[in-house]
Structure 1
């Protein structure tokens, strides 16, 4: 259990997929129990390992979240309380920003208040999803809507 303990502590005992707390004392057979997950699918991990010799970092996930995604690339859902149009896939955007830097358009919102809430949530969520990546948000008014984008610092 040493590796699980180390990864759990590094991730603050929060599931990297659903962002909910993980109880380290819960049975590993319980859907809310702790398990280790890789950030990318096994097929992409194998290709990356062949290309660069790197093994993807393991992250803490609930057993149910981990099992639910299976061997597919993970999806971090946008919360229902945020009002967004055309939300970007969060993990794909984070991976591009880690790899290339720059700017990613993440969502359009109908009001400034909605865009502010999205920006705050994105910064909070990405601070745990990609802790080593320095990001800032930008909100631009675009023809009656507000575009929320992430920029590498």
Structure 2
């Protein structure tokens, strides 16, 4: 339980997949119980094969989120209240930005207000998803829509 508490404290007792609070006192068989997830994506698995000493980071996840993900690459959902067109996969974009920096187009929005909400949500979500990644958002007006991008 010591390692779970350490990871839970580091993640602020929020599930890294769904970003909802995790109750540390839930019974272990409850779908909302706290579990440790080894964050292995295809890119990290390839790196792990190259570096035998590489240990994947562990993150806090609800039992249901962790079980639902299984051995597949995780998918972090976009918030339902956001109005976005062509949303980019958040984890893949964060990994590319961590690896090589630069700019990632994340979504198109119909209005400036929607784009502002998406930009604020992305910064907040990435602050917990990839805490060591320093990003800022850029909003560009493109053909009657607004493109929201992340830049390192």
- TM-score using structure 1 length: 0.95
Which consecutive unaligned segments of at least 5 residues does structure 2 have? Answer: none
Moved beyond 4 Å, runs of 4+: 43-46
Counterpart residue number, 2:128: 128
Cα distance between partner residues in 1 of 2:146 and 2:44 = 36
Which consecutive unaligned segments of at least 5 residues does structure 1 have? Answer: none
Q: State the Cα distance separating 1:9 from its structure 2 match.
A: 0.3
> Between Structure 1 and Structure 2, how many residues are aligned?
151
Counterpart residue number, 1:63: 63
Counterpart residue number, 1:18: 18
Could you say what secondary structure the match of 1:16 adopts? coil
Counterpart residue number, 1:107: 107
Note if 1:48 corresponds to 2:47: yes
Cα distance between partner residues in 2 of 1:45 and 1:105 = 22
Q: Tell me the alpha carbon deviations over residues 3-43 of structure 1, each in whole angstroms, 9 at most, x when there is no partner.
A: 111000000000000000001111121100000002224x6
Q: Tell me the alpha carbon deviations over residues 75-118 of structure 1, each in whole angstroms, 9 at most, x when there is no partner.
A: 00111111101100000000000000110000000000000000
Q: State the Cα distance separating 1:46 from its structure 2 match.
A: 4.3
Cα distance between partner residues in 2 of 1:40 and 1:139 = 31
Cα distance between partner residues in 2 of 1:47 and 1:136 = 28
Counterpart residue number, 1:92: 92
- TM-score using structure 2 length: 0.95
